[in-house]
Structure 1
């Protein structure tokens, strides 16, 4: 019997669909950040956050679709870096 199936059981399809939905969201937002201008809605927060990673420091702001991960892993940008991006 497969080891992965031992841990997931019949929930494997729920886990797979959740992973697929999350990764699809990530890809769409990341592509949009690089392809289009900054939006004028709530997505502007995500655009600015990830732009810090590419245009200020590649050591911060790794998260594209959920900035809470940067807070959890300690890669959240400082206030100073956010101010530089606004200029």
Structure 2
């Protein structure tokens, strides 16, 4: 969609360049600048949207805490196994 704004902006610049009426030229220059700004914002939005992270892959804080507790328990069990102590109940 943002490429359509670029094409319309180029068309508005062409009309402003070829017209002999000063009011019409000013109007088409303003329209062309607005369309050009819309094209730039659309291009930026498309690029940022393509690089955004998938929000469904994010871990919530509760799940992260549970994973940390499991990792700590595995670490303690590995240390106890190396030292030869029986596991704590």
Give me the TM-score of the superposition, normalised by structure 1. Answer: 0.31
Q: Which has the higher contact order (CA 8 A, sep 6+)?
A: 2
Q: Which has the larger radius of gyration?
A: 2
Give me the TM-score of the superposition, normalised by structure 2. Answer: 0.31
